[in-house]
Structure 1
Amino acid sequence: MRNIFVLLVLLLSISNNAHSATLFATVDSLSGKAFVSADAMQWKAVSVGQKIYEGQTITTDDDGEVHLETVDGGIIAIRPDTEFRVDEYKAEGDADDKVFMSLLKGAMRSVTGWIGKYNASGYRVTTPTATIGIRGTDHETTVIDETDGDEAGTYDTVNEGETVLKTKYGESVVTPEKFAFAPRYRAVAPVLLAQRPMFWAKRKLVIEGLIPQRKAQLRDRIKQLRDDRIKQREKMRDKSTGQAQTKKKEHAKEARKEMRAKQRKQAEQRRDVLRKEKSRNATQGVGPEKAERIKREQRPRPEQKNRN
């Protein structure tokens, strides 16, 4: 019974942590099988409409494709046989908005939202051999081991805009229809390829055709999405401020109530002392006025103090 209780507490804790994490995206389209996990231990099948959060990892089977619509109006297309992770995400319409992602294996396409448009320095894709930064773009990144004719490493190509493929050995700027490559096992800077890698022609994508229309729809809405997010944030802040002010007033009211109660108690204590003193004086045959006069007469006079 105790083990069952501990398990229930653990499951509730995991559930609460998932809901408290930052929302990253919603699953817009799905083909084949894909799974999501927050801890790489418990995996759940991905479904259309599902929420994806910061810190979660998505994996796809050989036939799996997942399209995500991010909070900032971007698109992430996760290809078959891929492992993708959301490292850090903040989309509040601020200058410090960011989207940091990791592509551990496989391939992804990223159409940036307002973060890429307004804060390109806050966008990063990390792979086992390189990082990719952008300048307002639609790009595709692939991480492979050695295959037929293609060297292991990170490949990046651009559909629109620019990317910068970086390693500790150097960097390469990638423009539309170009491919850059960062080798996994050679200590050299990224290079631009003279032709497409061979794996490119072997790709089999089922729902790729949905992206152009979705991209056009989101592009027209990016500014509005950002403005709406800013308004929502300000509304929540105002609500939070109002709640804080209400709590402050309640605390002040409670403090005044406690002070009045304390004052009443002190007054009652003083009255009790007077009643007891009056009763004692009455028992001794001395009235309160006379008792007070006697006390005054017994006090030393100033001239007596000086003599002493």
Structure 2
Amino acid sequence: MNRFPTGGTLIFLTLLALAGTSNSAAAAAVAGEVLMAKGAITATGADDVARFLARGSQVHAGDRVVTADKSFAVISFTDGTRTTLRPSTELLIEKYSHGEGEKSEAVFDLVQGGLRAVSGLIGKENPDNFRVNAQAASMGIRGTAWDVRICEEEDNTCARDNEKITAGKPSSAATFAETKCLDSIDVEGQPPGVYFAVYDGEIFVIRGDEVLELGQGDAGYASNRAFGCLSTFPAFLLGDPIVFPDQIDSGTPDLLELRCE
């Protein structure tokens, strides 16, 4: 008995394998493209296989994108949303769809690190369908340019010795009835938690039943212990050297020197 596949069987098996590859690619629709990559950046999809990202690499819904220390990536999504992933960042593209005949939706889970973003069509036309989840808080948008940053207990990229942060009312009138701001925070350095900054437009941050609206020029803070808006920008956000994603396009030279901290 011939235990080895014949030539016809080999062709059939090859076609099956190609069909499986094609189906897998189709199932993971393209969500965006890397415009710039500095250092080591990986994306891991549903197959649990990590792949290195470079300029021109595609990312998909379900990908977990990770930047190493002193690395960053600028990603342009198909709806025009652009994000800069800071060094030591982990971002899960939990849901993403945008296209003719599709529900426009974007849900990102920021596990660690931070991102700087400029909103695209989903955030502008369907703001209720755009979310960024980060630890104890969830963020929605009605604006175009913002930061989200997670600071850990021992994160020396956030802490600034002897800097004090005071929380108070946001600079623009809140429209949500349940919006609550802390009366005061007076700490040395930055407490662990999630920090938000708005450079243009508006965002709203949800923690449980509480909703906080932040407008242009505002910064906010959320953790399990506290939730509110800050009267001044923390230095690590205001002085962050990481590039804004709308400053980068496909023609930007790879040799562009940018500081990573």
The normalised TM-score by structure 1 is: 0.59
Q: Deviations over 1:218-274 (max 9, x none)?
A: xxxxxxxxxxxxxxxxxxxxxxxxxxxxxxxxxxxxxxxxxxxxxxxxxxxxxxxxx
Question: Is the aligned partner of 1:174 residue 2:211?
Answer: no
Alignment CA distance shift 1:95-1:61 (3 Å): closer
1:212-227 map, 5 Å: 212=247, 214=249
* Cα contact 2:82–2:245 (8 A) shared by 1: no
Q: How big is the shift at 1:17?
A: 2.5
Question: Which of 49, 55, 60 matches 2:67?
Answer: 60
- State the partner residue of 2:231: 194
**Mapped contact 1:150–1:199 kept (Cα < 8 A):** no
Equivalent runs, 1:65-144 vs 2, <5 Å: 65-93=72-100, 96-144=103-151
Measure how far apart 1:89 and its partner are.
1.1
Answer with 1 or 2: which has the greater Rg. Answer: 1
Higher helix share: 1
Is it true that 1:21 corresponds to 2:28 in the alignment? Answer: yes
Q: Output aligned runs, 1:203-242, within 5 Å.
A: 203-205=240-242, 208=243, 211-212=246-247, 214=249
How far does residue 30 in structure 1 lie from its aligned partner after superposition? Answer: 1.2
Q: Looking at both structures, which has the greater relative contact order when contacts are Cα pairs under 8 Å and sequence separation is at least 6?
A: 2
Instruction: Give, in angstroms, the shift of residue 64 of structure 1.
Output: 1.1
TM-aligned CA deviation for residue 25 of structure 1: 0.2
Number of paired residues?
202
CA distance in 2, matches of 1:18, 1:90: 15
The structure-2 alpha-carbon separation of the partners of 1:150 and 1:20, relative to structure 1 and needing over 3 Å to count, comes to same
* Rounded Cα–Cα distance in structure 2 between residues aligned with 1:164 and 1:210: 21
State which of 195, 205, 208 in structure 2 corresponds to 1:165: 205
- Give the TM-score normalised by structure 2: 0.69
| Structure 2 residue ranges without an equivalent (≥5) | 1-13, 160-188, 250-261
Can you give the 5+ residue segments of structure 1 that lack an aligned partner in the other structure? 1-7, 215-308
- The answer to whether the Cα contact below 8 Å between 1:61 and 1:80 also exists between their aligned partners in 2 is yes
CA displacement, residues 130-165 of structure 1 (integer Å, 9 cap, x when unaligned): 000011321110112124311111111111110001
Deviation at 1:199, TM superposition (A): 2.9
The answer to which structure has the higher strand fraction is 2
User: Residue deviations 1:34-67, cap 9 Å, x none?
Assistant: 1110148421111110110000010001111111
Does structure 2 conserve the Cα–Cα contact (< 8 Å) formed by 1:40 and 1:57?
no
Q: Which residue of 2 aligns with 1:279?
A: none
Displacement after TM superposition at 1:15 (Å): 7.7
